[in-house]
Structure 1
Amino acid sequence: MEEKKEYYLIEIGKLFLKYGVSGITMEEIATRIGISKKTIYNYFENKAEIVELIIQQRFKNDNEAMWETITQGKNAIEILVRITNQMKETIREVPPFVRRDLMKHFPLQLEKIGRNHKNNVFEGVRKNILMGIYQDIYRSNINVELIARYYVNSLDQFIREEVMAGTEIPIDAYYDEILSYHIHGIATAKGVTILEEIINPTK
């Protein structure tokens, strides 16, 4: 039963990305994934439960990818660049109208799971800063907790409509600028050199 449930969640997730969360009913979902309306309610209580489970799985995958990157990278700056690129990819895969849909119709589910995910990312960034200090590529005279929280909050602003409304800044440009601003603010000369080598590998 669990395998079928996981399969249905994957297929429903694809439908949400195409039609939006509120743009398709439970009956339409059942029809499109090839089951009856009765069957889908045997697996899920309602659409809110489906949304919560899909978001949980997505954030779980993102968190696992982040910690794998943290354990495999050779230096803190390379790791942070890769983590930030992973976050860009995650947002890029979800159309803006779907993000708006979630924030409007399922704010409680998004807030509950998103809070845990954000705390996990904060912990990853905090460890990254400590690693960079140890490697002498970040300055030692910084407030680690404050800087980590500021960086995570800055990245989080992109998906908040009230902050980004009226702008035409693409996600890559926004995240790259925040990343550069962050690293230049805390890096030693050695760290800045490493960043430049990553950004401009041919120079």
Structure 2
Amino acid sequence: MEIRESILEAAHTLFHKYGIRSVSMDDIARELTISKKTIYQYFKDKDDLVYTVTKISMDMERREMEDIEKSSVDAIDELAKISICMRKNLKDINPSLLFDLKKYHKKAWDQWLTFKNEFIKNNIVENLNKGIRKGFYRKEIDVEALAIFRVEQVQMTFDDGLYPSDKFELSELQMQLFDHFVYGILTDEGRDLYKEYQDKLHKIN
């Protein structure tokens, strides 16, 4: 099991840094100073490895988001914590990651779509409804429409045709769009509270 975990950890690191297509099974074996044959004892092929790495990443993100929700005082506190979490998780991710997933690894891509369209979207819907009830978000917003917009907004930053990687830095771009989304839904009260929470979190982090 230790070897399997090491393979998954190395694959995750290399995929995030260089993209999926450009990383071969030989690269992963070289990184761990093991034979490629050893990798195939645990994973049928690269597609199997990519799927497993993607599943683990989704599970980790799900737990992270659930922990944030449980530890948050309110919807605004949750947003502020998500912004910190996003900046940390997106650091050094290769923008080609989702493109490679979509083009070359359908099973893993379908897993990402399910995660995005169900868990992430539902999480946004819940947050929006909580914020509206407290008067932090504008009551006239269409929750379903904005939740769909937000999940698609996250994905489109990985599109090199829209945001060339030589011109846009992925984590900064994501934060720009996140802030644009957040400030578009806040009431005056919500805006003041969001800034207060952000200032506190930035001092800690």
What range describes the TM-score normalised by the shorter chain of this pair?
A: 0.7 to 0.9
**Which residue of structure 1 aligns with residue 77 of structure 2?**
78
| Range moving further from structure 2, 2-11 or 145-154 | 2-11
**Which residue of structure 2 aligns with residue 134 of structure 1?**
133
**Which residue of structure 2 aligns with residue 156 of structure 1?**
155
The CA deviation string for residues 21-48 of structure 1, in whole angstroms up to 9 with x for no partner, is 3334434533442333333222111011
Alpha-carbon RMSD: 2.7
Q: Aligned equivalents of 1:130 and 1:148: distance in 2?
A: 11
**What TM-score do the two structures reach when normalised by structure 2?**
0.81
Counterparts of 1:85-124 in structure 2 under 5 Å?
85-98=84-97, 100-106=99-105, 108-118=106-116, 119-124=118-123
Counterparts of 1:34-53 in structure 2 under 5 Å?
34-53=33-52
Higher relative contact order (CA closer than 8 Å, sequence separation 6+)? 2
Residues 15/150 of structure 1: CA separation in 2 closer, same or farther (3 Å cut): closer
- The DSSP-based 3-state class of the residue aligned with 2:162 is helix
The CA deviation string for residues 58-94 of structure 1, in whole angstroms up to 9 with x for no partner, is 1211121111101111121221132233233323232
Unmatched segments (≥5 aa) in structure 1? none
**Which residue of structure 1 aligns with residue 185 of structure 2?**
186
Residues 184/130 of structure 1: CA separation in 2 closer, same or farther (3 Å cut): same
Q: State which structure, 1 or 2, has the greater radius of gyration over its C-alpha atoms.
A: 1
Q: Aligned equivalents of 2:133 and 2:96: distance in 1?
A: 42
Counterparts of 1:10-25 in structure 2 under 5 Å?
10-17=9-16, 20-25=19-24
Aligned length: 200
- 8 A contact 2:128–2:137 mirrored in 1: yes
Unmatched segments (≥5 aa) in structure 2? none
